[in-house]
Amino acid sequence: MPSYGWLFDEKRCIECQACETACKQWNQVEVGINVRYRRVTVRHSGTFPMIQEQSLSSACNHCDTAWCMMVCPVKAITRRSEDGTIQIDQSRCVGCRQCAAFCPYQAPQFNERTMKMEKCTGCFDRIETGLEPACATICPTGALQFGEWDDIRTQGVDRVPNFTNPAQTRPHIRFITTPYPAGQ
């Protein structure tokens, strides 16, 4: 079974939120209900004049050890054998929010209109046709990349500041942290 993952380079992220928009459009995520499958967050640290800024584009990391799947009392969350993505079966979900409580990445979100949980699907429908997820195809700087996990898992590092320790869930995301040469 092929498995996929994300590669994110915060230095290239310009916080344009194109990834969020593309995701919302492709997946037809309803607006006005505060559900965002992909989220761009910006954190500031330090004190003036030594302020540091960190950008992070996050979504479901389709973890090897998916806590959301393990705690779902009705088994509405499963892993697709075709691509390893973690999916929520809306017909089985009872909206109990257990998955949200246990996911350290805040991927599952409660839709107050449907009273069910939703999250990033990894655009499995696009993967099936040979395309990348909508969020990765639109990133204008290449900060967010997508590919086969075997190719990504050895790149960069598995953790950056403000990202949950990946040791227990083994998320399918890696981070590029090396500085660029002067002038780039």
Q: Is the pLDDT score of 184 beyond 70?
A: no
More confident residue, 178 or 119: 119
| DSSP-based three-state secondary structure for 126 | helix
pTM > 0.85: yes
| Maximum Cα–Cα distance across the chain | 54
Q: And the tokens for 163?
A: 């990202």
What CATH number has the domain spanning 4-176?
3.30.70.20
Nearest-angstrom CA–CA distance, 56 and 15: 8
More confident residue, 4 or 50: 4
Query: For the chain, where are the E strands, in sequence order?
Result: 4-9, 39-45, 52-58, 77-79, 86-88, 109-111, 116-118, 144-148, 173-176
Nearest-angstrom CA–CA distance, 82 and 1: 6
The string of pLDDT tens digits covering residues 34-62 is: 899 999 999 888 888 888 888 999 999 99
Classify residue 176 as exposed, middle or buried by CB count within 10 Å of its CB (0-12, 13-18, 19+). Answer: middle
Q: Quick one: pLDDT band at residue 181, thresholds 50, 70, 90?
A: low
Q: Is the pLDDT score of 183 beyond 90?
A: no
Nearest-angstrom CA–CA distance, 146 and 57: 12
